Structure formats: structure tokens, C-alpha cells
Amino acid sequence: MESIVVWRRPVKRGPHTPLVVLLHGRGADENDLIDIADTLPTTFVYASIRAPVALPEGGYNWFESRGVARPVAQSLRASMDALRAWLDGSEPAQYNRERTYLLGFSAGMMMASALLLDDPARFAGAALLSGAIPFDAGIEALPQRLEGKPVFYGRGSLDDVIPKELVMRTERYLRERSGAQLLLRDYPHGHSISEHELEDISDWIESH
């Protein structure tokens, strides 16, 4: 799969520059999240990637679904393998492999959490926004799997898109069983990312 990527790069960059991989939500594309780079730390490189599954109604998704926030396991795994192959390719190799972060929104959060749980050592941390971990799609959320790993989990208290039981299951795992260095934030908005949330994410990225 040829990846379609939009980049934001600082003028001064090199092999020590950290990389943040942006993973959009269902029905969006590679242009959807890239502008949030303007509010995040300017010394990082940002790469926003188009998901591989084209939707009939327009836009793209990271996986075929069996319902809201319920990926088909084989489809999710295929996308994970493709994204890992891109991460190991020539363009990301120009930046700091030890400081590669994931930032995913909604379906992109499901993808980000799947990648993180599948290979925690590959990533320096993840910002997981307005979504859930794909527990029932072949992703093993084992106890202490994310031990010491920085994780930002942000969600809107008015979000009526992601099933509440999946959100609560995700929170319980991250808080009680994952071992992650967790920062959990609730915001008074729906299925979106607010300016306040972006400020918190920026501070979190800077702190790590």
C-alpha cells in the first residue's frame, strides 16, 4: 500500500527530531488533523496519514467495521501492518525512532491504541482521543502491557458517538491494568477536539 501523507516539518530538523504520527477519524482523510500541528510543539515533525479503507459515503477509515467502534480484526491487522511498514520506511527514518509518538482521534484512536498495545517498545507514547481500545478485534490488552508508557487519554463528556461501555472499559484498562503513565482528561464537548484539549496535549508532549 502506498501511503498518502501530509507533513509539517520544522526548518531545523534531523535524526534527533521527534515524530508525531496523526491518525484521523472515520470519514476523514490526511488533511483532517494536520492543522493541529500549528498548536503543538514546533520542534516536532508531524505526519498525517490517510487511512487505507475508502468509504462509500466519502472519506476513509482504518478498518472495516461490524458496528460503531467495532473493527473487523483482519482488516485492523492489515492496516496495522501497512502502517508499521511505512514507519520502518525511508521518510520516517530521517527522524528519531526512539521518540515516535501516536496521536489518534476516534477510529484513529482505535488504530493508535492497537499499534501501541501490539508493540509498546516501538513508540514513545500516545495521545488517545475520543475513542476506545479495540478489545474484541484481536488486540491483547494484557496486564502491565504499557508499563511506564506515557499515555494521554482525552474524551468529551458529551460524546454520544462512541458506545459508553467501550469508553468505560478503555478507561478501566488504562487506569487499573495497563501500567501506563496515564493522564486522563474529560472535556465538556461532544465528539471533537477542543482548543483546551489541544493545549493540554501540547503540554503533555512537551513534558515527554
Residue pair 130/191 in contact by the 8 Å Cβ criterion: yes
Q: 1 pLDDT exceeds 60?
A: no
In this prediction, residue 104 carries a pLDDT of 98
CA distance 113 to 120: 10
* pLDDT tier, 71 (very low <50, low <70, confident <90, very high otherwise): very high
In this prediction, residue 2 carries a pLDDT of 63
| pLDDT tens-place string over residues 3-31 | 899 999 999 999 999 999 999 999 999 99
Sorted by sequence, the CB contacts under 8 Å of residue 84 that are 6+ apart come out as 115, 119, 122
Q: 135 pLDDT exceeds 70?
A: yes
CA distance 142 to 191: 28
Sorted by sequence, the CB contacts under 8 Å of residue 61 that are 6+ apart come out as 26, 27, 51, 53, 55, 107
Proportion of the chain above pLDDT 70, given as a percent: 99
In this prediction, residue 208 carries a pLDDT of 84
CA distance 208 to 107: 25
Place of cell 503540554: 203
Mean pLDDT of the chain: 96
The pTM is what? Answer: 0.97
Sorted by sequence, the CB contacts under 8 Å of residue 93 that are 6+ apart come out as none
Give 105 or 67, the one with higher predicted confidence: 105
Cα–Cα distances (Å) from 168 to 130, 160, 174, 178, in that order, read: 12, 13, 10, 14
For the chain, domains (ranges, CATH) are 5-207 (3.40.50.1820)
Alpha helix (H) residue ranges in 89-163? 107-118
